[in-house]
A and B are shown apart, each in its own frame.
Chain A
C-alpha cells in the first residue's frame, strides 16, 4: 500500500502554513501526527493534492494549564504527552482516563489530540472527551483566531467546520466550575481496536451539587454524540443513584448505534447505559468526589486502569 502522489510543504510558521492552505487548491490536508491520514492515503481513501506538514512549526507541542485552570493543548501535543503528563491526574479525570486508551502506544507517540478532533472519526475518543468537557478548538486563519466549541466543530463523520484556509492550532478545556470527576470507558476488543462504544463523562461539583455535566458518546452514531439531556439530568443537584440511573437511561436513548460486526445496536446502546452508570457510580462512591475511571473493556485493560 502506497499513497498517491501529492505536493508536500513543510512551513516553519503558521502564517506560511495558512497561506499554503489558502492558495493550495481544492484538496489540501494538514499533516500533524498523520496516524489516521497516512493510512487512509495508503489505502487511497484519501488522495490530497497537497499536504501541509506543520511539524516544523515551532511552539505547537505544548499542553499547559493557565492560572485559572484552563487547559490548553497545542496542535503538536501528542497523545503520549498527555498519557504521561503530570497535569491531568487529579484535575482532568476524563482526559487522564482516555489518554492511555487512544489507539496503541506507538500511535500515541505520534498522533495528536487536535488532529484527532479534526479527523472527526465517529470512533475517535478525544472528540467525545472534549465534547463532554465543553471544550473548544482554536482555529487560526488569514482573518485571525476564533474559538469553535466542540459541539459546533464536529458536524458529521470526518467533517469539521474549519474553513479551508484555517488550521486548528489549539484545543481548550475550560476551567472547572467545581471539582471535576468523571471518566472514560471504552469497549475495545483489543488494544488499538476502534471503539465498539466509548463513553465520556465529565462532571463538576461544588458544595455537593453538580454544577456542570457533560456526557458524550463514541462509536454509536454517524458522529460523536453529545448526550445533552443525560447531562442535564445531573446538573443542579447532588449526584445520586436516581440521577445516575436517569442519566444513564437518557444517554442510552441519545445513542444512535447501528448493528455491525462490532455488535448489535441494542448491545451498544446497553453498553452506553452501563458505562455511564459505572463512571458516575465510581464518582458517587469516591469520597473526594473526584475519581478517575478509565478502562478499555477488554477486561485486562480494566485491571490496569483500576
Chain B
C-alpha cells in the first residue's frame, strides 16, 4: 500500500522501526511494511481492509478478534502483526467460497446463532478450529471449545446448536476420517 504522511521532519520518523512482512490471508499473498507494535487485528482491519475481525475487549478475554493462524485459533488483538510473517491467516471472510457458504455460516443462520453479529466471526473461527480437530463434538465439547469467546446476546444455546448443525452437515459432506489435528502437526 502507498502511504502519504504529513512531513513533520526527518527526526520525527527516524526512530520509528518498520519491518516488511509477507503473509497469506484467506489464500491471498500480501506484503506489508509495518511498525512492530501494530497488532494483528489492526493489520487485518486497517491494513488489509477486512473488517469482519472485530476489536472487543483489548485484554484477551472476549475473542471477538479471533482468527486462525496456520490453522490455530487465536486472538488477533493479542498478537503482533509482525508475528504472522511467513504464516497463513484465515479470517471470517475466508470461510465462504465464491459460490458457497461454509456450513458454520449456514448453521449460525439456521439455528439463530447470532443477534448483533459482533462476536459471530470469532465464534465461527473457534468453532472451525474445533470441527477441524473433532468432527463429531458433543454439546459439552462445543461449549468448552468456544469458552474463550464471549457473546452478550444469545445466551450461547443457539450458538451451540449452530455448531452442531454445521458438524452434522460437514460429516454428511466428508464422510472420510478427519485429518490429523492442528495440534499434532505442530507437535510433530
Contact = CB atoms under 8 A, between A and B. Distances in A.
Interface string B139-166: 0100011111100000000000000000
B37 A4 contact: yes
B187 A62 contact: yes
A2 B39 contact: yes
Contacts of B181: 84
A45 to B, nearest CB: 11
B23 to A, nearest CB: 13
Contact of B17 (A4, A5, A63): A5
B78 interface: yes
B148 A192 contact: yes
B83 interface: yes
Interface stretch (B1-9, B58-66, B88-96, B103-111): B58-66
Contact of A7 (B36, B58, B187): B36
A42 B59 contact: yes
Interface string A44-56: 0000000101010
A62 to B, nearest CB: 7
Nearest to B40: A38
Interface in A89-131: 100, 103-107, 109-110
B74 to A, nearest CB: 5
A107 B85 CA distance: 20
Contacts of A10: 82-83, 85
B145 to A, nearest CB: 6
Q: How large is the interface on B (under 10, 10 to 19, 20 to 34, 35 or more residues)?
A: 35 or more
Contact of B149 (A2, A39, A106): A106
A109 B72 contact: yes
A6 B19 CA distance: 12
A55 B74 CA distance: 15
Given A34-B79, A80-B183, A6 B126 contact: no
Contacts of A39: 58-60, 78
Contacts of A78: 186
Nearest to A190: B147
B36 A38 contact: no
Contacts of A27: none
A109 B83 contact: no
A302 B63 CA distance: 23
Interface string A136-168: 000000000000000000000000000000000
Contact of B36 (A1, A6, A84, A105): A6
Contacts of B61: 104, 192
A99 to B, nearest CB: 12
B16 interface: yes
Contacts of A53: 80, 82-83
B63 A106 contact: yes
Contacts of B148: 103-107, 191-192
Contacts of A55: 83
A115 to B, nearest CB: 13
Given A6-B37, A61-B187, A81-B187, A304 B144 contact: yes
A109 B58 contact: no
A191 B59 contact: no
Interface in A276-306: 304
A209 interface: no
B78 A35 contact: yes
A168 B123 CA distance: 34
Interface string A24-44: 000000010011001101110
B33 interface: no
Given A35-B60, A51-B36, A8 B82 contact: yes
B73 interface: yes
A85 B73 CA distance: 18
A71 to B, nearest CB: 14
A8 B60 contact: no
Nearest to B130: A105
A174 interface: no
24 contacts: A1-B58, A2-B39, A3-B39, A6-B37, A7-B36, A10-B82, A34-B79, A34-B83, A38-B60, A39-B59, A42-B58, A80-B72, A81-B183, A104-B61, A104-B147, A106-B63, A106-B73, A106-B74, A106-B149, A109-B73, A109-B74, A109-B129, A110-B74, A192-B61
Interface of B: 16-17, 19, 35-37, 39, 58-61, 63, 66, 72-75, 77-80, 82-83, 85, 126, 129, 133, 140, 144-149, 181, 183-184, 186-187
